[in-house]
Structure 1
Amino acid sequence: MGTGPLISAADLAERLEQGSRTVLLDVRWALGDPHGHAHYLAGHLPGAVYVDLPGELAAPAEPSRGRHPLPAAADFQVAARGWGINDGDTVVAYDDSGNLAAARLWWMLRDAGLGEVYLLDGGLAAWRAAGLPVESGTVAPSEGNVTLGTGNMPVLDAGAAGTWADTGLLLDARAGERYRGEVEPVDPRAGHIPGALSAPTSDNLDGDGRFLPAADLNARFTGLGVRAGVPVAVYCGSGVTAAHEVAALEIAGFRAALYPGSFSEWSNNPELPVATGAAPRGDGPPSGIAPGHGGTVAL
């Protein structure tokens, strides 16, 4: 099957050719591009079902929970059954942006107790590069019967995030300029949670949108101080791409917790401190940058 959370295009194609029961889920979505469903309709893996990230993988945004709060477990189970997932199924999720969106679904299904869930390494681009077929239009699956739970992946809340760096490593998966507080395109304050280390999600990938080899990811994270016995947690802007970093850490051999509310939750609470500059505890002036000033977005 896959390598950790990953499956290659070749291995997935072989699995499908053998007729092994596999639910394919297309999570085409990116902040600033509301046309994910249209991209799906134009071309997707044969049999893949579209998953609407903001509508099915998140509850409505609210300042106290962030821009993409996790949905209620019951709502997520309804959505998963709507995608045609049955108990015991193998699920493969993908997108067309290096799995930056699909990792959210991978993490949520793992948290819900689904054991056989994978990311298509390289996503749609890798599938196409392998010369494999795509189809257009909508796939309407039969209703599934999967029973999902919750609590199978480690998480932390704002209180734990604020003290995590005292005894462990808190990784900020957003772009470096957002971590430093130089720009903030969407959230009310710029900077980072004090004590967090900058570890951009983009550094998990090669130029083709595939995850780096396990040895390279291990070297990356050990260089940041990740090691056995030290608790690790990850956040991003709204808890979406942080799931990608959790997957990368798993490939590297480390288990990490996710802060679902992430910086969008943290920065909306004026009582919580924000650090700016390149140092974990801050070395820059207080941030006064308002949303909408551009920059690379890690959701």
Structure 2
Amino acid sequence: MLFDSIIIDFLFFGIAFQGFFLAALLYYKLKDWKVAAYYLVFSVVLITWVLFWLGEKGLIGSVWSNNSPDFSILLGPLLLASMDMKKVKKLTHIAFIVFGVYLISGLLITDFFQKTGNYVGVVSIFLNSVFLVFASKGIGSLGSRLMSYALMAFIVYMVVFWLLSYLGFLTWIVDYGTALIISCFFYVSGHQYLIKSKFRTRAQKQTPEHNIILERTLLYLKKSQKYLDSDYRIIDLARDLNISDAQLSEVIRCSEYDNFKSLINHFRVDHSKKLLRNSDLKVLAVAMESGFNNKVSFNNNFKKYTGTSPALYREKIKR
């Protein structure tokens, strides 16, 4: 029995390491570090579970098995951060700062993670639930939808785990079984996102209806200038066009823009170019007037679409 469970432990190690590979692919293929970090964090959580199981069998010391930080607290904030919702951005920043304090405390105080483990587990369930509620207001893209489902499944798993543990019904079969189910749920959602976002050719999915909706979308954005609102989301645009956000997401993904952020930022950069040419506004003011939340995001997107910085662009224009 012990030998069999050790084999299962190393099987979970393998599952976790493919999760690291998935996170790397998500970052390399989609250039979205927040989504990549989301699946990376879950892989780290899975590794800490395996270390705990190995420690319970006496195969590794308690330093590794019982004194690891609970990284699952980061799942909710990363989900919300991936949606770039301005109204709750401060909330995600606070969550990251609190986790940083928690991590530093564990490094400075002996057995801190072990002593606070049960409390932090309950806090993790509560905070992830709160972040999921906030995130539900901004779910629109395929990625955010899949990530939300995965987090919801994780919260359910943790609640069931704690209940079974409290009632004394938690056996090693149930523990391994539920961990396997949630791991599969998480990683399948990640692979689905990767496949649907990048590995289907546009030609296979493009239809005349897509072209009509895309043309209508571009015309509406050009006339309404809704992209100047930094809080404008795909669900808002879908509602304005009277179509579902899932259909709109599919249409945009089949186009040259790939995703909603890319589409909106394309219009924002075009607007900023006009301001840089025809006004004396400072770069930060141009960024804000064009719908960007901050100067860094503006500079990165401007360079992405024009190959130069806003300051250099203005300098060339005025020569």
Same fold (TM > 0.5): no
Please, what TM-score do these two structures have when normalized by structure 2?
0.26
Q: Which has the higher contact order (CA 8 A, sep 6+)?
A: 1
More helix by percentage: 2
Kindly name which structure, 1 or 2, has the bigger radius of gyration based on alpha carbons: 2
More strand by percentage: 1
